[in-house]
Structure 1
């Protein structure tokens, strides 16, 4: 498993917190499409799906929830 970059982890946590690519992108000063691309790349590197995406919502998968729970205290 390749380790994701710190910026990718920050982006992941913002997406999980807001449950929205647009709101996370606004917080981070990035385009929503950039965040989407970052997450696809991170998921590919890690070999696991972290987010359920639909046209109207985004939510963490079980693996995404575990990652967010472990990262939360470390990134605050």
Structure 2
């Protein structure tokens, strides 16, 4: 059985972290926060996986070796 993942947009991520947009992208660049995912080839729709953001909030998220 496949588990569906919920995607959340940037306003919800900013609300969850309390960060500004520049801080969010800096943390992603430093591999200190989950990477965003593009929903379309042009990158116009960008999301984060809710389960990854929740894991980060709990202090359980770690960057994968591929991302570092």
Structure number with the higher helix fraction is 1
TM-score in terms of structure 2 length: 0.39
TM-score in terms of structure 1 length: 0.36
